[in-house]
Amino acid sequence: MPRVIISWIALLWMVTSFASAVVILAGLFTSSWLIRVETVESRRFTECPTNVYPSLIFPVYPETSVNVFQFEPKASDSPSIGPWFRCQLACTTVRNIWSITWFTSTSQMMRCQLSLWGFGERPAQANTLTWTSAALCLTGSVLLLMSTIMVLSTICKRNVCDRSVHSFTGAIQGLSDILLVAGLIIWPIGWDSVTIREVCGGSVGPYAKGNCTFGWGPIAFGFGVLLLFISSLLAGAADKSLSSHTTTRQMLMDGKTCIFVH
């Protein structure tokens, strides 16, 4: 019968591991990394014709046309782009292959797609650095998910082929952390890409965000990477806490199947 062994350090390691996985994946797969700073002029090119020039389609009162541009731009409605996804407003009558759509607070359709391709009928591809960053982040995310599953297995199984599962899991977490940090560093170098310019304008460049501002994505991603680094260090401490002589004696002499080490 498998024995369940838990310690305070092991419990802390599990919590930080799960928290880092959730925060990293939430930050990585959002488009809220670079958000365009909208103005009235830039809004003219992203609003649908029925919303921007209603007087050209339906007879309306003059004051309706005057007030159509007197609005407070919302960051949630502005075009945004991240390492993997990009989103912007689109007209409901436009047909495309985008699969993720929803309506904003202004009753307009927001559509998202992979950020490695541009918009339009013949979308341009991102540059090599952007692809490299996306590949590193994807590989790091796969390793992160693997390590998260292995964290669960350490509750009942501590060794595989006479090797500590905790140490092996900590090594995978460390490797995942390195790949994610590398992707985070490389992605801003590749901002001189057509896909980024479509969102942030022509003044964008390596580590120059142009006409964009930072969203919550990089903050969440950076915090998650820090948690993952702490988790990789706690893996070794958790292994030592569960391999003490007191724990071994309780398993052999008392025959307990569930042990909590203080």
DSSP string, 209-226: --SEEE-SHHHHHHHHHH
Average pLDDT of the residues in 2-27: 87
pLDDT, tens only, 100-155: 666 666 666 777 888 887 665 555 667 888 899 999 999 999 999 999 998 888 87
End-to-end CA distance of the chain: 23
Contact 103, 55 (CB under 8 A): no
Average pLDDT of the residues in 9-38: 92
The overall average pLDDT reported for the chain is: 77
Res 47: pLDDT: 55
| Cα(37)–Cα(199) distance, integer angstroms | 10
Average pLDDT of the residues in 236-242: 81
Question: Is residue 169 scored above 60 in pLDDT?
Answer: yes
| Of 218, 256, 235, 255, the residue nearest 24 (C-alpha) | 218
Domain locations in the chain as residue ranges? 4-31+127-261, 36-114
**How far is C-alpha 16 from the geometric centre of its chain's CA atoms?**
17
State the DSSP H helix or E strand holding residue 232, giving kind and residue range, or none if neither.
Answer: helix 217-242
Asked which of 22-26, 158-162, 167-171 is least confident by mean pLDDT, the reply is: 158-162
Res 133: pLDDT: 92
| Cα(126)–Cα(131) distance, integer angstroms | 7
Distances (CA, A) of 256 to 3, 75, 239, 247, 252: 8, 56, 19, 10, 8
Res 67: pLDDT: 42
Contact 173, 232 (CB under 8 A): yes
pLDDT, tens only, 186-235: 999 989 888 888 888 888 889 998 889 999 999 999 999 999 999 999 99
For the purposes of burial, counting CB atoms within 10 Å of the CB of 124, is it exposed (0-12), middle (13-18) or buried (19 or more)?
A: middle
Res 137: pLDDT: 94
Q: Where are the beta strands (DSSP E) in the chain?
A: 4-7, 34-36, 80-81, 85-90, 100-103, 109-114, 159-160, 163-164, 212-214, 258-261
Res 240: pLDDT: 82
Q: Provide the token pair at 187.
A: 């992605």
Question: Is residue 91 scored above 50 in pLDDT?
Answer: yes
